[in-house]
Structure 1
Amino acid sequence: MKHKKFIFIFILTISISLFVIGCIYNIISGKPLHTNLVYQFLINLPLCIALGFIDFGIIRLVYKKFKIQNNIFRIFVDLTITTFLSVLLSGSINYLLIKDCISFWIILKSSLPIIPWNWIIVFQIEIFLYSLQQTEMEKRLAFIEKEKALYQFEVLKNQINPHFLFNSLNVLASLTYQDAEKANLFTKKLSTVYRYLLTTHGQLKVTLKEELSFVDSYLYLEHIRFEDTLSINIEDSKKEHNRFVIPASIQMLVENAIKHNISTKSSPLVIHICINDEMIIVSNNLQLRNYVTRNETGLKNLQRQYALYNKHIEIIKNDKEFIVKLPFLD
């Protein structure tokens, strides 16, 4: 459990504050100071501390096991359970202390003052836990923003690197003389690729439909460049297009396969994209280049992005094939 030290100090502070309140109340009611202090130290202070830890344990249990989303209902459940236990604890202690008391109602009456004490403890614990949750959420959001920015930078850097621009402009220059209509379409697809990267810069996730539309533009550019040496197949039932993925994740896997593998007419690079109801599977035949640095920065970055959503990317590599399985985010 996190923050153990702070939790202990917090509960101890509540207990001492209730102890002080009890002392003031008894002094006002006319009881001698020395008698009051002895009674409070011996009985009420240990009771307050025990009650504080019991209440905290119950509230933590309700938080973890029941996962109640409605805060008002959860607090009501906390108050109900802790009130019953506090009255039971106080009643048991009073029964042991008041030897000549036989009546159940007298024991119950002597135990009732613990109820407002218990409520004060419960409300303070709820406020304390809420504050901790907000702090953790802010830290997590800051971490997500940092990881998102890093991933988007890597994606943008990979796409705007000199090699990509050089190759794209070379292809465009050739098409301008050979086929003006194809050159026009190539230019539109290239602008679509960069527009997507820029418009999704502030987004944590996109729909599969948006991602596939972007991938289609990217694949068109690569098909024009590699022609018959590159074969890409997409198996898509179109049933999962409203599911969510990390922006440019599928494209990055395709780009990775092209970057690290040889593609020739005699040995074309074959990339297969399969979309089922659970995940997206991107696979390619393995024919690695010898001179490409394989630091896998992009893939590791993508793994960190999915880890932020408690999702795991499965990577399978053998002598013939490289496979990456991307889960949906929802």
Structure 2
Amino acid sequence: MPAQPTEQLNDRWIRISGITFLVLLAIYAYKAYENLFSLETGKLLLESIIISSLTWELDRWIIIRFRHKYPLLHQVRTRLCWVIPLCWLVNVTIDCGGMLLNNAIEFRKHYPKAAFLGAIQGSLILAFLITGIQEAVYYFSRLLQAERETEQLKKENLQTQLDSLKQQVNPHFLFNSLNTLSYLISEDAEKAEEFLDEMCKVYRYLLRNNENELTNLGTELQFIRSYFHLLKTRYGDSLHLNLAVEPSDEQRLLPSLTLQLLVENAVKHNVIHKDHPLTVHISTRADGQLTVKNNLQKKVQKVASNQVGLSNIASKFSLLKQPAIKVQQTETEFLVTIPLIQPSH
């Protein structure tokens, strides 16, 4: 049986402890400790357990319902403005209802009118107490969850960097790049210098990528131009890149190396030939989404894949609490839609 989340275990013990505290409070208020083993004390104990359990559980149910409706930490004030009055009303109803039932069936001593008036004040105190404890536990669990997700995101970023470096700094890639550079040096020194400059930019970006979890789209596009320059030198007119990005979108954010992973995915899994050129389109939409698509011409022979690319990107957006990426494939094209993140000011 899988272990329950820590938040559930903490909440369970908070509920048990809270109900126990309310029962002990009732015993103290009615001085039942003076005669612990009497029938009257036993009846009070039973009544207190029922009333306290109903009060705590119904208040908790209300809190959870409004927590689902207003889940964010900055919505605490709105949530409490609804929760506390409702919990107060429920608590008054339970307390007064219990006393009325007791008086009707004469289960134990008759409750006077003053007890009903006192229930109004006592129920408000309980509403604040239960809500405060439940909110404190919720806030603490959210902080722990955020810390865990931050650590996981860092691991995902490190894994992305490692996989990208493995892909780029492998002997095959270096051999091709250095071979291309060697050829250009003897044939066209100017192009060789340009190729070397772009190659340095690619490696510099890859090696410095661990500084930030997010980068702006403009920076990613600068990198992808350098990265594509290396690919273009190798594949020539068999490979094309089209960019249609609004300048206003270049300050929006996305996880680092997202575009590189998508371009790499397209190059890795599709035929690239002068008779069947591969074209990658990167564009932004009016709704703040980024699309990366390519014409689909899958290689006949399956390419070994560790499934890092798309799953890695999807995992990052999930950890960042962003909408899920969308992957679409038709007979002629492969398209990935990514939500761009609005920078906070």
Could you tell me the TM-score, scaled by structure 1's length? 0.85
2:285 alignment counterpart: 276
* C-alpha spacing 1:327/1:131, structure 2 compared with 1 (3 Å): closer
Which residue among 76, 79, 85 is the counterpart of 1:80?
A: 85
Tell whether the 8 Å contact from 1:55 to 1:122 is kept in structure 2 after alignment: yes
The count of corresponding residues between Structure 1 and Structure 2 is 329
Is 1:91 paired with 2:91? Answer: no
1:316 alignment counterpart: 328
Matched AA of 2:19: S
> C-alpha deviations, 1:66-105, integer Å up to 9, x for none?
3462545644543332123212321232334346999977
Q: Which runs of 5+ in 1 are unaligned?
A: none
* C-alpha spacing 1:140/1:94, structure 2 compared with 1 (3 Å): same
Tell whether the 8 Å contact from 1:229 to 1:263 is kept in structure 2 after alignment: yes
SS at match of 1:267: coil
- 1:4: how far off? 5.4
Which residue among 14, 18, 24 is the counterpart of 2:18?
A: 14
1:261 alignment counterpart: 270
Aligned residue runs from structure 1 range 1-330, under 5 A: 7-27=11-31, 32-33=35-36, 34=38, 37-67=41-71, 69-71=74-76, 74-75=79-80, 77-98=82-103, 107-277=116-286, 278-291=288-301, 293-295=303-305, 296-308=307-319, 309-330=321-342
Tell whether the 8 Å contact from 1:95 to 1:107 is kept in structure 2 after alignment: no
Equivalent-residue separation in structure 1 for 2:279 and 2:120 (angstroms): 77
Equivalent-residue separation in structure 1 for 2:224 and 2:16 (angstroms): 59
SS at match of 1:264: coil
* C-alpha spacing 1:202/1:71, structure 2 compared with 1 (3 Å): same
Equivalent-residue separation in structure 1 for 2:179 and 2:132 (angstroms): 68
Matched AA of 2:297: Q
- 1:209: how far off? 0.7
Tell whether the 8 Å contact from 2:92 to 2:119 is kept in structure 1 after alignment: no
**Range with greater deviation from structure 2 (88-97 or 44-53):** 88-97
Equivalent-residue separation in structure 1 for 2:164 and 2:284 (angstroms): 22
Tell whether the 8 Å contact from 2:199 to 2:230 is kept in structure 1 after alignment: yes
- 1:212: how far off? 0.5
**Range with greater deviation from structure 2 (53-62 or 141-150):** 141-150
Matched AA of 1:315: V
Equivalent-residue separation in structure 2 for 1:168 and 1:307 (angstroms): 35
SS at match of 2:242: strand
**Range with greater deviation from structure 2 (227-236 or 62-71):** 62-71
Tell whether the 8 Å contact from 1:273 to 1:283 is kept in structure 2 after alignment: yes
SS at match of 1:201: helix
Matched AA of 1:280: L
* C-alpha spacing 1:256/1:11, structure 2 compared with 1 (3 Å): closer
* C-alpha spacing 1:213/1:51, structure 2 compared with 1 (3 Å): same
Equivalent-residue separation in structure 1 for 2:231 and 2:119 (angstroms): 82
SS at match of 2:30: helix
Tell whether the 8 Å contact from 1:311 to 1:329 is kept in structure 2 after alignment: no
Matched AA of 1:197: L
Equivalent-residue separation in structure 1 for 2:122 and 2:327 (angstroms): 62
- 1:118: how far off? 4.0
> C-alpha deviations, 1:20-70, integer Å up to 9, x for none?
233234339x96443662342132221111111011111112211134625
Equivalent-residue separation in structure 1 for 2:137 and 2:318 (angstroms): 28
**Range with greater deviation from structure 2 (153-162 or 280-289):** 280-289
> C-alpha deviations, 1:190-230, integer Å up to 9, x for none?
11111112222242221111111111111222222222222
State the Cα RMSD in Å.
3.1
SS at match of 2:240: strand
Q: Which runs of 5+ in 2 are unaligned?
A: none
Could you tell me the TM-score, scaled by structure 2's length? 0.82
